[in-house]
Amino acid sequence: MLKEMLKERNVPQLKTREEMLSLVYTDLFGYMPPKPEKITFEVEEAIIPKFCAGKAVCNRITANCIINGKEFSFPFLATLPTDNKKHPFFIHINFRPDNPDRYMPTEELIDNGFAVLSLYYDDITSDDGDFTNKLAGILYPDGKRNTTDCGKIAMWAWGAQRVLDYAYTIPEKLDLDCATVCGHSRLGKTALLAGATDERFTFSYSNDSGCSGAAIARGTSEGGERVADICRNFPFWFCENYKKYCNNEENMPFDQHYLVASIAPRKVLIGSASLDKWADPLSEMLCCVASSDAFNNGFKYEDRPPQVDDKFFDGDIGYHMRDGQHYFSRLDWQRLIEFINLHR
């Protein structure tokens, strides 16, 4: 059934990882910002006393980067268990700097044996059309972009990769073989791009990322967001070339399965919510099906549209759908932990 739906939508065949990423760069997100010529980290320890009842320490880290010969610094939080063991960890790209946060149940993650490194996306660059501030201002001093220059999503993904650079400085505390990048909505798109373009990430998790994230664009379900919608409201997330496909998805030389498939052979989990029609759960599950052959042990699923409480975790691509609205819930985190523990 689902493969027939993909045929009806005329979804393009998979290509090599290099070919797929090339299209992701030139026609969707733009080319990633360059890696820093130099990066150092300053650590302010234990900024919250007796954090998580003493089970963890919350440190504020400042990343100091040299990019194109210019200085750029940004903060993030590292919440580490205090048991002197090496832990798997999340790099959570978040909408707020809070710890814990309504999208991040920190103590529950610590209790499950994980460390959490959390990045507030606005500390990298603002979520608007201003390309003169923070990282954007360094990349584009005059605030102007060429057609394949990156938008804000690629900059936020770059930030998550710099947080991973920090993780590599404390291998005695973090299990570098179990690094997960995760995010919700636009930051779910960001997590997929960060995972696709940095092979150090073991797991990537996209929660309710929808259009231009984990949802097939061709044949969007009724009530689902289309390329024209997202480019009208948030053109600054993408490269300028992406606008060519407004109301023109059928002529895209790619679809979103190219982004997901570029994560192979590593692991990826896609999360949907039953009432989140705008993110289009059916098209997100179809993206898993379309990406499957890129992985060693692809998507293992029941051949039908997604249902509440679905949990398809046996393959390298996982998919789950919970009841409810657009939100990064505790149940979503629990599903992510379950998927990681099954495959690590």
Q: What is the pLDDT of residues 21-40, one digit of tens each?
A: 999 999 999 999 999 999 99
DSSP state of 106: H
Q: What is the pLDDT of residues 44-90, one digit of tens each?
A: 998 888 899 999 999 999 999 999 999 999 999 999 999 989 999 99
| Measured distance CA(262)–CA(260) in Å, rounded | 5
Task: Name the pTM for this structure.
Answer: 0.98
Q: What is the pLDDT of residues 276-333, one digit of tens each?
A: 999 999 999 999 999 999 999 999 999 999 999 999 999 999 999 999 999 999 999 9
Residue 135 near residue 73 (C-beta atoms within 8 A)? no
**Which domains does the chain possess?**
2-37+78-343 (3.40.50.1820)
Point out the residues that are catalytic. Answer: 185, 326
Which residues fall within 8 angstroms of residue 30, CB to CB, at 6 or more apart?
145, 148, 149, 150, 151, 154, 238, 239, 240, 241
pLDDT at position 49:
84
DSSP state of 170: -
